[in-house]
Amino acid sequence: MKTYESKDLTQFLFVIRKSDTLSRLAPFILFLILYSVGIAYLELEYFQFKSDSWLRNLPVMHTLLSFVISMLLVFRTNTAYDRWWEGRKLWGSLVNTSRNFAIKLDAILPVKDMENRNFFRKAIPLYAYALKDHLQSKQTKYSLDESGISSSEIIPMDFNKHVPNQVAKQLFARLHQLHISGQINGDQLIILNGEVSSFTDICGACERILNTPIPYSYSAFIKKFIMLYTLTLPIGYSFTLGYLAAPIVGFVFYVLASLELIAEEIEEPFGTDANDLPMDKMSENIDRHVGEIFE
């Protein structure tokens, strides 16, 4: 079992990192604390409501609504995490498919056939790079090795089109050419064609996640619900907690809003946020592993 040193635990608890929601929510938390202090002052010092005031019964409403808001946030975070985890499984499949494709080609192609081996050595990792940029709406031309040979010199592509499809098209075209020339037989072509088809299947599944976002109205409703819920908290709890209601309201808002922000980040797993999938690292791993296999 992994254990943490006291220094690591201290950093985990007290160091605010860029990805921490506290830094993003700090202005709102400060506003709510000041707002709660003002509400407590008006109720306790200025208006001095009587003990039978109906405002003292507002915590009953918050008790009822707390169950509703917790269920909404559970559904929200679970839905967002399912999208993130599905994206992670798809990229894990891309890693394994790239390795299997390279292993089979390495066994089938003659060692002296450097032209085709060099083509697949660069084209297989290129699919991962192209898919990453396609999902992030980028248009980048790569240099995949230290010699500075551009992938576009090996695989001509129109970067105004669907680049992953063009890479897959070139992969299958080279396999078909090898079959026509007799370098691979029909059974080998069928086996290798399955790996190219897996690339396209993975791309299509990633596009389904990317192009089917969670409805905006649902996310907007939760944000409004959280804000209205926390804005009304000090009105009722100032009678029982006094000025202590101010930091408590700020903490409640931090917990609820953090869950919504985390869900908002991970529901789009192919972005560049700190909690998104490390597609750059996975693409580099594919590049390195495929190179090792073809050595």
Interval 54-105: pLDDT, tens:
667 777 888 888 888 888 898 889 999 999 999 999 999 999 999 999 999 9
- How many whole angstroms separate alpha carbon 169 and alpha carbon 163? 10
130-175 residue pLDDT tens: 999 999 887 655 443 433 334 544 555 566 788 899 999 999 999 9
Please count the residues of the chain: 295
Q: In this structure, are residues 287 and 132 in contact, taking their beta carbons and an 8 Å threshold? A: no
44-50-53-57 Cα dihedral, nearest 10 degrees:
60
pLDDT at 271 over 80: yes
Give 42's pLDDT tier (boundaries 50, 70, 90): confident
pLDDT for the residue 53: 67
Q: Which residues contact 28 (CB under 8 A, 6 or more apart)?
A: 253, 257
For residue 72, how many other CB atoms are within 10 A of its CB? Answer: 18
Q: In this structure, are residues 37 and 44 in contact, taking their beta carbons and an 8 Å threshold? A: no
Residue type, 27: P
* φ, ψ (nearest 5 deg) of residue 150: -75, 140
The reported pTM is 0.78
